[in-house]
Amino acid sequence: MEEICNNLSAVLCQAGLGGYKIFYEEELCDCLPDSMRNRETLEAALKNLSECGCIDVKYARGSTFCIASLKKYEAQAPEKQVAETPANLDGPKPAVKLKTYLTVSLCAFLGGAAGGAVAAVLGAVL
C-alpha cells in the first residue's frame, strides 16, 4: 500500500499543492499496478492519504474526484515498541499525584461554595 500511496501522491502533487483540483478515476488508476487497478484500491489509497494529512478529498461523485494535495506522502516507519521495565511501570511520581489531588479538591470545594452562595442569595431574594 505504501508504494501505491507514494505513486498516487506523486500524481496529485504534480498538479500542485494547495487548492482543489478535479481528477478523473481513469487518470488516478493509471498510477496503480495493473493487478490492483480498481476503484476499491483507489479509494483505500485515497483514504490512507487523507488520514495521514497528505490530501483532502472534497467530494467523489461518479468517476470524478475533487482533491487538494496538501503535502507529499512519506512512508511512516513502524513505531518503536517500548519495553515494559520497572521504571516504566512506576507511573507518575507521588508528588504529581498529590498536586493533582489537591488541585481537584480545591476546585470542587470552591465550586460547591459558589453554588451554595448562589442558592442562598436566590433563597433570600425569592
In the chain, the number of structural domains is 2
Range of the domain at 17: 2-69
**120: pLDDT confidence band, cut at 50, 70 and 90?**
very high
CATH number for position 37: 1.10.10
- Is 119 part of a structural domain of the chain? yes
- Is 75 part of a structural domain of the chain? no
Residues 65 and 96 in one domain: no
Q: Which three cell numbers stand for residue 39?
A: 476503484
- Is 86 part of a structural domain of the chain? no
**88: pLDDT confidence band, cut at 50, 70 and 90?**
low
Q: Percent of the chain at pLDDT above 70?
A: 83
Residues 97 and 65 in one domain: no
**Cα(24)–Cα(41) distance, integer angstroms:** 15
| Contact in structure between 69 and 52 (CB atoms under 8 Å) | no
Residues 9 and 60 in one domain: yes
For 1-34, the pLDDT digits (tens) are 788 888 888 888 888 887 899 999 888 888 888 8
**Cα(68)–Cα(76) distance, integer angstroms:** 21
Residues 95 and 60 in one domain: no
- Predicted confidence at residue 96, as pLDDT, reads 62
Pick the closest to residue 10 from 66, 57, 71, 80 (CA basis). 71
- Predicted confidence at residue 91, as pLDDT, reads 57
SS3 of residue 19 by DSSP: coil
Work out the number of other CB atoms within 10 angstroms of the CB of residue 67: 22
Residues 57 and 102 in one domain: no
**Cα(103)–Cα(100) distance, integer angstroms:** 5
List the Cα angle 23/24/25 in 5-degree steps. Answer: 125
Give the phi and the psi of residue 17 in degrees, each rounded to 5.
-85, 150
Residue 98 has pLDDT above 90, yes or no: no
Residues 54 and 109 in one domain: no
**64: pLDDT confidence band, cut at 50, 70 and 90?**
very high
